[in-house]
Structure formats: C-alpha cells, structure tokens
Amino acid sequence: MKYKSLQLPVLALCLSLITSGVFAQNSFKPQKDVLATIKKNFADGDVQYKYMAKQFIDGQFPKTYHPDKDKFETSNSSWWCSGFYSGSLLKLYQETKDAALLTEANHNLKGLEKEQFNKGTHDLGFMMYCSFGTANRVEPKPEYNEILINSAKSLSTRFNPTVGCIRSWNSKPEDFLVIIDNMMNLELLFNATKLTGDSSFYKIAVTHANTTIKNHYRPDFSSYHVINYDAQTGAVKEKKTAQGFANESAWARGQSWGLYGFVVMYRETKDKKYLDQAKGIAHFLLSNPNLPADKIPYWDYNATNIPNALRDASAASIMASALLELCRYVDKKDGQEYFNVAQTIIKNLSTPQYKADLNTNGGFILKHSVGHFPAGTEIDVPLTYADYYFIEAMQRYKAFAK
C-alpha cells in the first residue's frame, strides 16, 4: 500500500514534539488519598463492567441505564457512542490486568470493525479511535492500524475545503452543519498521518480546527454548539444550539469537548495558537460564576434554574481529563490550578453522590449525566462517555505519581 510522503515541515514538527519535552514540562504531586480512591475506583470499575457485560447480548452496544425504569438501553454499532464500551474495558484492563475485561473488549471490537467504512458519520473518532486506538496501545496489531487508517479515510470524505470543516450532521444539501463535538474526532486524523506518512489527514485536522476557532467561539472563549455554513460558499448562515439551553448559552459538555479538542491540537502540532485557545477556554470555565464549588458543571452554564439545574458528570469527566493534560503545557501557576480542579472533580465524582454502588446502575460507574436535555433524552442517567473520560482522567492523574 502506498501513501503520500509526509512533507518536511510536518515531519520536522513531529520530530520537534518528540525532542521538545512537551509531555513533561511540569510535575504535580498527587495526593495519596486520591490515589487510593482511584485504585479502588479501578477495582470497582472492573466489577461494574463485568456486571454490565451481562446486561446485553451480541450485536448490542451499551448506551445508558434508566434507574427509574430499571431499564438498560443499547444501540447498534453505528451509534456515535459505540466505541466507548470497549475503550473503557481496555483502560480498566490496563489498570487491573483482569483478563476477563480484555476478552470482553476484544469480542466487542469484532462487532465494531465494519464501521471503519462508515462515511455517514463524523463520529468515527469517538467510535474507532477510543476503541481501536486504545486497543492498539494495549495490544498493538497490524490489523488495528488498517482499521484506524480506513476510519480516517472515511472521516476525511466528509471534509469540504470550501467550508474548511468536516461535516457533522447530514442535512439539506445547501446546509453544512458543524458541531463543536467534532473537535474530538481530529485525533483519529493525526494518528492516520503518523501511521501512513500522509500529511493530508493532518492538514484536514488543522484546517477544521482553524475554522472552528474563527466561527464557533465568542470573544469570551465560550462556544456555540452548531454552526450552519453555506455548503457552496462556506459563509456562516446560522450560529445556534441543539443540545444546549439557548443559541447564545454555553452548553456544558460542548465547552468540555472544545477544551479537550484544542489540547489535542496543541499536543499534535505544537502551535501556540491552540495552546492559547485551550487556556482561554479553561479560563472561561474555571472563572465562570455558575461553575459549582465541587466543579461538576450544570448541564448548561446558562440554565435558568441554577442552582437547581441538573449536573452533568460527563462534562466534568471530559474537563478533568483535558485539564490533566493541559497542566503539563503551561506555566506552574496555571498548571497547578488546572491540576487542582481536575483533582477536585475526581474526588467528587468518586463520592456516593456520583459513583454507583457495585452491581447497580446497569454496571456504569458514574451516575447523573445529561445527554440531550431539549429533546428529553438521556436525562440524569449514566452515559458511556462519562465513564470513559473518568477512567482516562484517573489514569492521567495516576501518571503524575510515577
């Protein structure tokens, strides 16, 4: 198989990432009690996910659990969350070495393989990188490389160079909808450039991120959820929300998606504008008067019934994981703030308020996330991605103890 050669400036940039020490600029001291809590959380997660595996049959993928109805909800492999279950199993396996988790993950991955050719969704990063990308770090295999490359190729077909973005939701031909969540799918493209030497994937990711900075973000570094572009000219037609409280509000999980996405952009390019963007988003979130003291956000920072608005554990988990990477790239003062906030989030998500008892909650680790409030779906329930990023955040915190 032949691929385009990686252009020299990009190659030099990749080499500079390796030699610059970007991944070890700062070191922060984890608390022993938090590390002990994390160890217990991993052990409990092992029990929970083996319990979850009994809740559904082959061909199904965990989605959520409705405690009021005692109902476990699943999806097929094309649902955007299909990759989080195997990803969580694999991350838990890294910590517990329980072979049963690896066996279940590998079995689940088989049903996900066909999505590498799915060109009808922008969520292939979530679906394929969180699953097969994690698997490739746990047990590297040539077939995983091929799956990841094919997934990136499929995602790339949704890129429109006139708009400068990857299409998110399919809609009318004249419209081109892009959501902030799409920043999370760019890591799949960076990975494809590393695997193939083809810089086209890298360039698509950079172009998408630059367009997102230009049009998704307000001066205060809060983000719109949805931008509707003219598919022919690339002009912005609408700036709005779908899952947030209002068009001009700050939907909590969307803010966390953006933060995480621009941290990845800085890691992969070492371009300071992405670091500045991530720091700006972090400042908006951490200085927000509506961020609760326990740092678990309300589902929208502008919900009108604060402080009685529902919390979103998924937004907290994503934010904590992002901050625990971002703290490595900034000065000591900012880094310590980011580290401390992430530590607080991990502590509070580990309490009975948010963490489920064993063999309950459908097997999910966390309770109290919000999926799509305006549509009335997945309201105050566990969600697969809340668990995935919570596990990842705990792994990143634990890494500071080494």
- pLDDT at residue 11 tops 60: no
Q: Binding site membership for substrate: which residues?
A: 123, 181, 241, 253, 257
Active-site residue, selected from the candidate residues 46, 123, 300, 387: 123
* CA–CA distances in Å: residue 26 to residues 112, 332, 334: 38, 7, 11
In this prediction the pTM is: 0.93
**Model pLDDT, residue 402:** 81
| CB distance 367 to 361 below 8 Å | yes
pLDDT tens digits for range 164-221: 999 999 999 999 999 999 999 999 999 999 999 999 999 999 999 999 999 999 999 9
Element spanning 64, H or E = strand 61-66
CA 348 to chain centre: 20
Counting residues of the chain whose pLDDT is more than 70, the rounded percentage is 94
- List the single range of 14-23, 59-68, 197-206 with lowest mean pLDDT: 14-23
Reported as a pLDDT band with limits 50, 70 and 90, residue 77 is: very high
pLDDT digits 0-9 by tens, 269-324 = 999 999 999 999 999 999 999 999 999 999 999 999 999 999 999 999 999 999 99
**How confident is the model at residue 6, as a pLDDT?**
43
The whole-number pLDDT of residue 75 equals 98
Residue 393: which of 282, 326, 319 has the closest Cα?
A: 319
Binding-site members are 123, 181, 241, 253, 257
Per-residue pLDDT band for 26 (boundaries 50, 70, 90) equals: low
123 is catalytic: yes
Tell me the pLDDT of the chain averaged across its residues. 94
The active-site residue, picked from 33, 46, 68, 181, is 181
**Residue 393 confidence (pLDDT):** 98
